[in-house]
A and B are shown apart, each in its own frame.
Chain A
Amino acid sequence: MSAPMEVVVSADSSGQLWNCAVFDLHSGTNLLSYRGGNSSSRSLTVLNGEYILGAQLGKNFINVWEVQRKDQLQQKIVCPGIVTCLTASPDGLYVLAGIADAIYLWEVSTGNLLAILNRHYQDLTCLRFTDDSSHFISGAKDNLALIWSLVSVVQLDPSHTPEPRHVLSRHSLPITDIHCGLMGAQARVATASLDQTVKLWEVSSGEMLLSVLFDVSIMSVTLDPCEYFLFCGGSDGTIYQVSLCSPSLSRDKTFQSDSEGNQVFKGHRNLVTCLSVSMDGTLLLSGSHDETVRLWDVQSKQSIRTINHKGPVTNACIHPAAPAHMFVSESRPAVPLPRFSRHLNPTEQHDSSATPGACSVLLGPENTKVRVSELEEEVKTLKKINKDLYDFSSQLLIKPS
């Protein structure tokens, strides 16, 4: 289990057998499953390779599992409202949740709620980070997709309301899915909408590059890692493949000729909710309301494998590298997950989960004295460490000469 392997993480809305399960991409065997509740659409996310987060369908909390402890539920994060979409930043420092028409941003290390962004006019449908965690994109039922810069959102000046870097306002019906490509701030974003179009945008400029009009509403969209192809899951169960490169550039001429007019994946009988492409771009994973997850070969457009579920599939995605200790049952997460606060400014609220530092100040003179002495001690030890560090490094510097 040392070699990194790609795994499929999927969930369905019935949650009969499990809330979400991990499958091997190539053999389709069920490796792990996590129980308790069920997850809503576009809300299952892996945080920092240590936790799996999934928003409970129709309830106002988020289920949390440690990746190595399958089966039982570890924690519930209670939120101010029903969570419609959820995502964790790739660097594992932030968690974003869409609750009604607001975006909530938590810092994972402290559990502080850093920002509530009220720029959308209707319920959120999708949240995505860029791969370098510098930006995130939010889509909602008000036809808008917004591109936010994380640094401009995470700021301590309360008087300044964060503004999105770009507003993508050219869809005419609610946004259903967003895919963010690689390359950080220079990535391209694909948005799908009920208005039967998929549009491709540039994060850096907010300009639209491409708009493809289909016959059906598009419920899910993804790009392969090279961004050669755009995959769009329709509400009729068809998956459409749009080639983003001119065929003259393609090396494989023979394939081009016989694939003419054969750019659809047929097999699902109901709307396609989620799509994901493997790291090498050869396999496509799709989940649908017909209660199956299918794996496709991109070149030949055949369904390789079908994984049956007990309800409409809400989440299915290929994780490029399975977390290292997913299969080591005795490992522990490096950092325990703190309680996520429900209010914006943690120092102002005393009744619920305030940070311990803030509490002790309010406990009276004795406690403050104790606290002061504690702090002094800490300063002393820190000074000592500093001195040791200095001595060590100076020795190291002098020795070679």
Chain B
Amino acid sequence: MTKRKRQDDFQKVKLKVGKKKPTPDNATNVSFRSKGIHLPEQLKRDASGPTTHRQLGIKELLSQLHHYSASVKQGALCGLRELLTSHPALVEQHLSALLSEVAAAFTDKDGSVRSAALRLLRFVAQCVPSERVGPFFPLLSAHLTCAMTHIQASIQADAMLVLDVLLEHYPALLAHRHAHLLTNFLELISRQRLSGGAKANEKAGAGKAGWALSVTPDRGVTAQQWRLTVLLRLSRFLQAVVEERPEEESVVSVDREGREKGITTPLELNWDDHPFGKGGIQVFENSGATPTPHSTYRLRPDVDKGVGVGEELSSVERVRGFAETLVPLLLEVWVETLGTDNGHLLSGDAMVLMLQILTILQLLRRLTPQHHQQEELDIWLRNTYLSDFKLYFMKNFPYGQLDTPSPRHKKSSHRNRQQVLAGAGSAASVEPLALNVTLCQVMVTLSHRGPGQPESQDADWLGPIRSFVRETLTTGSRLSSKQLGALLEVVRRLVVSQRGRAVSEDLLQAVYTQYQQRNLTMPVRLMLLRFFSQLYLKERLNRSKILTRWLAALPVQLVQLGSRNPQLSAQILQTLQHAAAWKNKELLNSLLTHACSLYDPQEGCVVVLPVDSQQRLVQMLYFLPACPPELLSCLSRVCKHGAWCPGLAARSSDHRNLRVVARLLDLSFLPSDTLLHFLSDCCLSMLSLLLQLEHSAHKREAVWGACLAALSSVPRLLRLLLQSLRVCDMCEEEFPQLAQILSLLMQHTHLRNHMVTNASLLQHIIQELTRYCGGESREQWLTDLLYCYSVTLSGHRGNLY
């Protein structure tokens, strides 16, 4: 036994082929795999975020901008752009650092760095809205100012490009900082003379405030081109400032329509909705304590204008001060540009420059903080500079293009110029027409307004302008709508300032020929129409023959237009309605002659136009001096048409229209046959309307009352009404309605006697009705009708006996 046990202790392991070796107890399991932990790399990625292809994060790139080497800086800027393009979210995170670094690069000595910075700025501006840039804008504009006033010409030139970008994306922000920027503009093309005493006095005419044009010979471009670059930006900058002005009334005549609507949006209410309405009306938002901000009364100037507004142009005096420095400089530039060419022919470059000068002058006048101060500034400009303007601008007035073959061989210089005008768009090539029109606009604002002044003093320079405008309008076939708008503005000023004179009549004639052209586009035609209607409605030129002719032709145009262009028709109708209300004789006559076609029941305007215009047309009837029978018959047929076409009559406006017509007839009451026919039709249509107005008890009452009054006052009317009810012409759906009308009429006590006198007619109608009903199951309405009929007649007999 013991022997066995010992054997058990040391048992021999038998190894056999094909069997696995059993794993020993102390074997180490090596099946696991290990991985390294790289902590430093993880930390690095978290901190720097995405990188460029050169493995540089935004922090490194920004810090590289402080490197002394230009190429490193440029590389960093390019890298930033690459990084931000791929990860736009970074822009928002690092906006502050980014903008301050980029802005600092505006004044970098190296050109390539500056252009890289510009490209980066353009990219940033594209993706950041202006309200987010607002907090950093003082910094940006400080750097911009720095660049603009830099001693190096090339940095100055690049500052213009920066300005372009900012103007494009943040015009409002830039406009608020005009206090600093405007003087910078002046310094770019001129320099201030430091109390030069005698010297300043010598050229008192040119540099009144001690500014003179400067010439820097070492600049890459010619002085003329450089000035053009600056003036282009100046004009765009002023444009931005002008657009920032509060409640500025647009000068272009097209936009004036907006004024008509008013600034506050009035509440429009319908009485039907009101009493059952969804709550009351809140008319007085300030509960009357303060008037609305649009009041024209100015007890004291607005003090709390907001902090961002600069002080420079906040008053007329400031604007005037600015103009005092700028205008002589502009005149000097003008003279220098003109000096090379003699006569009225100009090269293309000169023309672009001159156009910019005029545009700036135009904007200058609109810089006034309030609209009513514009007049004040105009008068000041006239008193100060009219003689200069006459001398320089008007000397060779209608300017033309110098007819030189286009300089192909100077392609390089051409490209250079293109660079100067980068972003200038269409300004690169200017038509002489645009120049001349702008000149007219500038000069006309200086013309004297107000009576009591002999107009002859302006005649010497207004004459050429007038003839130019006239010729352009009569011959110029290819006027763009913008140019036409400008020309119309000029004409308006001329006509208004010298009203009632033969010369202005000629101008109007020219516009009228333009108006009569057939192939005008819709906006142009609308613009011309508005021009005339404004002259008539706003300026109240009612003695002009052309205007009268235009007015008298309007009804014909309205007829011809038909339903083709409702917008144009609405504009015409608006003018017509005013003119009719103002008792314009020619118009009323013309309206009367064309009334039949206007109110034609088939294709007249009263049928085809939209509801608003229809209403105007009917309201115009009120002012017609006479009502010829043909017109009445037209109207009656319109009514009939409306009556048997439920869709039209159901509209409440039509119902109102009918009422207007009915009242009109009360006014001019002539018991003629046509009139009676018309009235009977009216009544019929109103009665049928009555049945459709189930929901509004009040309206029903009103309509019923009107019908009743008409029918009971003129007995013949009822007979006509009954006669016009031809049962055989109707379709079956209309029978119940007719029966209802008849029973209504019979039930009324006042009318009953009249009904009885027409008993035979009534009987005939009812017989017809019963016959056409086909004798099938008697319907409820027919029973009711017959009952009413019998009651009426029996009651009558009862009275008799």
A residues contacting B by CB (< 8 A) are 121-122, 141-144, 159-160, 165, 169, 172-174, 183, 185-186, 194-196, 199-200, 202, 204-217, 227, 236, 240, 242-248, 260-264
> What does the 1/0 interface line of B272-291 toward A look like (CB < 8 Å)?
10111001111110001001
> What does the 1/0 interface line of B281-308 toward A look like (CB < 8 Å)?
1111000100110111100000000000
B residues contacting A by CB (< 8 A) are 262-264, 266-272, 274-276, 279-284, 288, 291-292, 294-297, 451-452, 537, 577-578, 581-583, 615-616, 619, 622, 656, 659-660, 663, 698-699, 702, 705
Residues of A within 8 A of B659 (CB): 216
Q: Which of B275, B282, B659, B660 is the most central at the interface, judged by chain A CB atoms within 10 Å of its CB?
A: B275
> A142 near B582 (CB under 8 angstroms)?
yes
A294 to B263, CA, bound (A): 40
Known: A122-B581, A195-B619. A244 touches B292 (CB 8 A): no
Residues of B within 8 A of A209 (CB): 264, 266-267, 283-284
Main secondary structure of the interface of B (DSSP, over half): loop
Main secondary structure of the interface of A (DSSP, over half): loop
> B262 near A207 (CB under 8 angstroms)?
yes
Among A169, A173, A183, A242, contact of B288 (Cβ-Cβ < 8 Å): A183
Closest chain A CB from B430 CB (angstroms): 40
Residues of A within 8 A of B275 (CB): 260-264
Residues of A within 8 A of B269 (CB): 210-213, 242
A206 to B659, CA, bound (A): 30
Residues of B within 8 A of A186 (CB): 288, 291, 295
> B295 near A202 (CB under 8 angstroms)?
yes
Question: B294: nearest residue on chain A (CB-CB)?
Answer: A205
A141 to B451, CA, bound (A): 30
Give me the 10 closest cross-chain CB pairs, A-B, nearest first: A121-B582, A204-B295, A246-B280, A208-B266, A263-B275, A212-B269, A214-B271, A143-B581, A205-B294, A247-B280
Question: B295: nearest residue on chain A (CB-CB)?
Answer: A204
Closest chain A CB from B294 CB (angstroms): 5
> A207 near B274 (CB under 8 angstroms)?
no
> A244 near B284 (CB under 8 angstroms)?
yes
> B295 near A211 (CB under 8 angstroms)?
no
> B288 near A227 (CB under 8 angstroms)?
yes
> A243 near B702 (CB under 8 angstroms)?
no
Question: B267: nearest residue on chain A (CB-CB)?
Answer: A210
> A173 near B582 (CB under 8 angstroms)?
no
Closest chain A CB from B279 CB (angstroms): 6
Sample of 9 further A-B pairs with CB below 8 A, known A183-B288, A209-B267: A121-B582, A142-B583, A186-B288, A200-B283, A210-B267, A212-B271, A216-B659, A216-B702, A242-B271
> A202 near B291 (CB under 8 angstroms)?
yes
Among B452, B581, B615, B663, contact of A217 (Cβ-Cβ < 8 Å): B663
> B264 near A207 (CB under 8 angstroms)?
yes
Closest chain B CB from A246 CB (angstroms): 4
> B295 near A208 (CB under 8 angstroms)?
no
> A160 near B264 (CB under 8 angstroms)?
no
> B279 near A246 (CB under 8 angstroms)?
yes
Closest chain B CB from A401 CB (angstroms): 39
A173 to B618, CA, bound (A): 11
> B280 near A236 (CB under 8 angstroms)?
no
Residues of B within 8 A of A202 (CB): 291-292, 295
> A205 near B296 (CB under 8 angstroms)?
yes
> B281 near A246 (CB under 8 angstroms)?
yes
A157 to B631, CA, bound (A): 49
> B279 near A247 (CB under 8 angstroms)?
yes
> A210 near B283 (CB under 8 angstroms)?
yes
Question: A212: nearest residue on chain B (CB-CB)?
Answer: B269
A384 to B660, CA, bound (A): 71
Residues of B within 8 A of A227 (CB): 284, 288
> B702 near A205 (CB under 8 angstroms)?
no
> A215 near B281 (CB under 8 angstroms)?
no
> B284 near A143 (CB under 8 angstroms)?
no
Q: Identify 6 residue pairs between A and B in the complex whose beta-carbon atoms are under 8 Å apart, listed by A's number.
A: A172-B616, A199-B266, A207-B264, A242-B271, A244-B284, A245-B280
Question: B269: nearest residue on chain A (CB-CB)?
Answer: A212
Among B271, B281, B616, contact of A244 (Cβ-Cβ < 8 Å): B281
A142 to B267, CA, bound (A): 24
Closest chain A CB from B560 CB (angstroms): 24
> A208 near B262 (CB under 8 angstroms)?
yes
Known: A159-B451, A205-B295, A215-B272. A121 touches B266 (CB 8 A): no
Question: A208: nearest residue on chain B (CB-CB)?
Answer: B266
Among B291, B619, B705, contact of A204 (Cβ-Cβ < 8 Å): B291
A209 to B281, CA, bound (A): 11
Residues of A within 8 A of B615 (CB): 172
Residues of A within 8 A of B537 (CB): 169
Residues of B within 8 A of A121 (CB): 581-583
> A160 near B271 (CB under 8 angstroms)?
no
Question: B290: nearest residue on chain A (CB-CB)?
Answer: A186
A159 to B577, CA, bound (A): 32
A247 to B281, CA, bound (A): 8
Question: B653: nearest residue on chain A (CB-CB)?
Answer: A213
Residues of B within 8 A of A207 (CB): 262-264, 266, 292, 294
> B577 near A172 (CB under 8 angstroms)?
yes
> B271 near A213 (CB under 8 angstroms)?
yes
Residues of A within 8 A of B705 (CB): 236
Residues of B within 8 A of A200 (CB): 283
Residues of A within 8 A of B577 (CB): 143, 172
Closest chain A CB from B767 CB (angstroms): 38
Known: A160-B451, A172-B616, A263-B275. A215 touches B297 (CB 8 A): no
Closest chain A CB from B625 CB (angstroms): 12
A219 to B275, CA, bound (A): 20
A240 to B263, CA, bound (A): 28
> A205 near B291 (CB under 8 angstroms)?
yes
Among B282, B292, B582, B656, contact of A196 (Cβ-Cβ < 8 Å): B656
> B583 near A205 (CB under 8 angstroms)?
no
Known: A159-B452, A202-B292, A246-B282. A215 touches B702 (CB 8 A): yes
Residues of B within 8 A of A169 (CB): 537, 578
Known: A142-B583, A260-B276. A211 touches B267 (CB 8 A): yes
> A205 near B266 (CB under 8 angstroms)?
no
Residues of B within 8 A of A165 (CB): 296
A204 to B293, CA, bound (A): 10
Closest chain B CB from A280 CB (angstroms): 18
Residues of A within 8 A of B262 (CB): 207-208
A244 to B672, CA, bound (A): 47
Residues of A within 8 A of B578 (CB): 143, 169
A246 to B451, CA, bound (A): 50
Q: Which of A210, A213, A227, A261 is the most central at the interface, judged by chain B CB atoms within 10 Å of its CB?
A: A213
> A211 near B279 (CB under 8 angstroms)?
no
Residues of A within 8 A of B281 (CB): 210, 242-246
Closest chain A CB from B545 CB (angstroms): 19
A321 to B282, CA, bound (A): 31
Residues of B within 8 A of A143 (CB): 577-578, 581
Q: Which of B266, B294, B702 is the most central at the interface, judged by chain A CB atoms within 10 Å of its CB?
A: B266
> A242 near B274 (CB under 8 angstroms)?
yes
